[in-house]
Structure 1
Amino acid sequence: MATTKTQKKITIRLIKGLAGCTDEQRATVRGLGLRHRMHESTLENSSSVRGMIKKVIHMVDIVSEK
């Protein structure tokens, strides 16, 4: 059987609210699965997710990487 490589997970938390943000930043936060302040989301640690985090790094906190 072929073995599949499992991707690592990353957990992020929205630490700042969305008031005063641009529409692009709001869309990025929603794309990361975050809805409101202090909400956490666990995603695969891929380059696309890392790029989205980089766009809103001032609003999110990386809780853990597994």
Structure 2
Amino acid sequence: MLKVKLIKSKIACKPQQVKTLEALGLRKIRQEKSFEDRPEIRGMIAKVKHLVEVTES
């Protein structure tokens, strides 16, 4: 399982990055979501790695 936490604002981001965060379900700063460790999720996290914090559990 991966825990993804939004740590920076999406205000100055590119529209594609904002859509990726929305698809991950991260809308507010300090919001956390848990995901299965899958290549699709890893790819989405890689696109917004400068905005999120990832922990493996």
TM-score w.r.t. the length of structure 2 is 0.93
Q: Which residue of 2 aligns with 1:14?
A: 6
Stretches of structure 2 lacking an aligned partner (at least 5 in a row): none
Check if 1:56 corresponds to 2:48.
yes
Aligned AA (1:21): C
Stretches of structure 1 lacking an aligned partner (at least 5 in a row): 1-8
Identity of aligned residues (%): 37
How far apart are residue 48 of structure 1 and its match? Answer: 0.3
Q: Matched residues in 2 for 1:57 and 1:34: separation?
A: 13
Aligned AA (2:56): E
Relative to its length, the structure with more helix (as a share) is 2
* Bigger relative CO (Cα 8 Å, ≥ 6 apart): 2
Tell me how large the CA RMSD over aligned residues is: 0.8
Aligned AA (2:43): G
